[in-house]
């Protein structure tokens, strides 16, 4: 299943991005978690969860001790639902429309970002819930797209340092590393391709 729909394609075509989007999907998207994904997810103390049902759209911060999100198979992960404000906007959306998006971000040290899209279901089996200390329910997500993507706009939180790639007046951000990749350079728009071809390759943040 493609990551893109008609709305995505409309804007890709408007801003000369369809070929780049297709090449990124071909080279970066995967359908199964690898060992790096597992280690990254298990080490994080939080993630962001996006859900929607009709006009009810929600983005929620989910936190816990590192390891509270568990990758349970090549294509599934689960996390506990802890005691909260009882609005159940996220879980209520899941009951009605199970499509979800998860965003895992690391702000300290080596910045990184991982997107997971999939289908969620709520689990109230006591044995499963008991495996997550303090949980009221467990949310299981079957992933259909796992996509690590550019962390260039993630600030270095520990030093309160904004991303060097963020646009601001009287400042020209450096070119991100991904534009120099062999499978991208030849399909950049002409102006960007010329900049990459002539710019000295000084990357302020090699993880971007």
pLDDT tens for the chain, 208 residues: list them: 789 999 999 999 999 999 999 999 999 999 999 999 999 999 999 999 999 999 999 999 999 989 999 999 999 999 999 988 789 999 999 999 999 999 999 988 788 999 999 999 999 999 999 999 889 999 999 999 999 988 889 988 876 677 788 888 888 888 888 888 889 888 998 888 888 888 766 555 555 5
Predicted local distance difference test score (pLDDT) of residue 196: 83
Type and span of the H or E element at 18: helix 18-28
Distance, in Å, from the CA atom of 190 to the CA atom of 197, rounded to the nearest integer, reads 10
Predicted local distance difference test score (pLDDT) of residue 2: 87
Predicted local distance difference test score (pLDDT) of residue 28: 94
- What interhelical angle do 18-28 and 6-14 show, nearest 10? 120
- Single out the residue of 194, 200, 207 nearest to residue 164, CA to CA: 207
Distance, in Å, from the CA atom of 10 to the CA atom of 7, rounded to the nearest integer, reads 5
**Whole-structure pTM value:** 0.84
């Amino acid at each position: 299943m493609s990551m893109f729909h008609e709305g995505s394609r409309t804007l890709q075509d408007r801003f000369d991005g369809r070929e780049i989007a297709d090449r990124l999907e071909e080279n970066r998207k995967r359908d199964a978690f690898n060992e790096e994904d597992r280690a990254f997810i298990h080490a994080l103390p939080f993630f962001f969860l996006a859900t929607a049902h009709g006009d009810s759209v929600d983005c929620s911060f989910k936190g816990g001790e590192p390891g509270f999100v568990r990758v349970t198979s090549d294509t599934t992960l689960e996390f506990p639902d802890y005691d909260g404000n009882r609005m159940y906007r996220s879980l209520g959306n899941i009951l009605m429309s199970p499509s979800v998006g998860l965003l895992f971000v690391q702000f300290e040290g080596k910045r990184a970002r991982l997107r997971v899209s999939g289908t969620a279901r709520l689990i109230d089996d006591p044995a499963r819930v008991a495996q997550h200390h303090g949980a009221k329910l467990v949310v299981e997500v079957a992933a259909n797209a796992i996509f690590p993507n550019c962390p260039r706009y993630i600030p270095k939180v520990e030093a309160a340092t904004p991303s060097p790639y963020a646009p601001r007046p009287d400042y020209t951000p450096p070119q991100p590393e991904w534009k120099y990749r062999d499978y991208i350079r030849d399909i950049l728009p002409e102006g960007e391709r010329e900049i990459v071809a002539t710019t000295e390759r000084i990357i302020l943040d090699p993880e971007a």
